[in-house]
Amino acid sequence: MNPSWSRDGRWIYFCSNRSGDFQTWKTPVEGGQAMQVTRHGGFEGFASADDKFIYYGKTIDFPSIWRTPVEGGEETPVLDLQKTEHRRSWVVVEKGIYFAAAETSTRSVVEFFSFATGRVERRVATLERAIKLGPPGLAVSPDGRWLLYTRIDQGGSDIMLLENFR
Run means of pLDDT, 10 residues per run, the chain, 166 residues: 91 92 94 93 90 88 85 90 68 91 79 93 82 71 83 75 79
Q: Report which DSSP code applies to 114.
A: E
CA 108, 114, 120, 124 torsion: positive or negative? negative
Phi, psi of 96 (to 5 degrees): 170, -155
User: What is the pLDDT, as a whole number, of residue 86?
Assistant: 58
What's the pLDDT at 60? 67
β-pairing verdict for 138-140 and 62-69: unpaired
Threshold 0.75, pTM exceeds = yes
Quote the pLDDT of residue 101: 81
Query: What is the gyration radius of the CA atoms in the chain, in angstroms?
Result: 18
For residue 62, what pLDDT is reported?
66
